[in-house]
Amino acid sequence: MNDYKRFEDLTFEDFRRMAVDGSLSRYEKIGFPNSYREGREPGIWRDIVAKLPALLGQNKVVLDVGPGCSDLPSMLIDLCREQGHTLLLVDSAEMLDQLPNEPFIEKHSGFYPGCPDLLERFRERVDVLLSYSVLHYVFTEGNIWSFLDSSLQLLNHGGEMLLGDVPNISKRKRFFNAPAGVEYHRAFTGRSDDRPKVTFNEVQPGAIDDAVIFALLHRARSAGFDSYVVPQGPDLPMANRREDILIRRP
């Protein structure tokens, strides 16, 4: 539990610092204890590709907002190379420096959507937009509505966006109020008589909840996009308390 607390309340500046910290693993550099991601990312990748079938097409424009430097961006880079895609990567310069430079890759450093050149050049041209384990940091440090609106403007007709691995405090409460959640909590804490404290109908500042999730879906639909909240595969490490938002432009 203490290992996980090291990665709470991280900011963009924290990730810049962590990216060049040689004492951290590639998973720790993106804000996860090794146990949450080591050996788990192939399953995460399969789940992502299943939700973004356009990745398996040819000659697409793909944007990854906040790729980090773990195994996932390497898998995305390999696929884009094979499929002839143009790959746009947006993250801090320090994080992007951990990833290879190839002719089909464009790197844009900065705090998205603070990249006016990319937003102008690729307006309505992006076929796949992926942002995984990022949205909750935008919620606490940035402007989640500007993030969404800018991303919607980038999508091509038929384009699809996955805002993945979103921690939802409401989903977390529902899980820890159930028998499976109680057992999970006891195994995690090592206390067989402990029960997680769950309070419903209470706003927790700084945390994404059902209200935020459904507001994002509604805003996308109001802008002319189809939007869905979708579960993660049951084998994913945080599927019991995180979920994904899938948005498609007709």
Q: What is the pLDDT tens value at each position of the chain, 250 positions in all?
A: 446 677 888 999 999 999 999 999 999 999 999 989 999 999 999 999 999 999 999 999 999 999 999 999 999 999 999 999 999 999 999 999 999 999 999 999 999 999 999 999 999 999 999 999 999 999 999 999 999 999 999 999 999 999 999 999 999 999 999 888 888 888 777 787 778 888 888 889 999 999 999 999 999 999 999 999 999 999 999 999 999 999 999 9
- Token pair, residue 169, equals 């405090």
What does the alpha-carbon distance between residue 178 and residue 176 come to, in Å, rounded to a whole number?
5
Other C-beta atoms lying within 10 Å of the C-beta of residue 239:
19
What does the alpha-carbon distance between residue 164 and residue 116 come to, in Å, rounded to a whole number?
24
| Domain 40-168+208-248, CATH homologous superfamily name and number | Vaccinia Virus protein VP39 (3.40.50.150)
- Contact 156/125 with Cβ under 8 angstroms? yes
CA-only gyration radius of the chain, Å: 18
- Contact 30/69 with Cβ under 8 angstroms? yes
Question: In sequence order, what DSSP letters do the residues of 142-186 get, joined into one string?
Answer: S-HHHHHHHHHHHEEEEEEEEEEEEE-HHHHHHHHTSHHHHHHHH
Query: 0.95 cut: is pTM over it?
Result: no
The three-class DSSP label of residue 227 is strand
Sketch the domain layout of the chain as residue ranges. Answer: 40-168+208-248
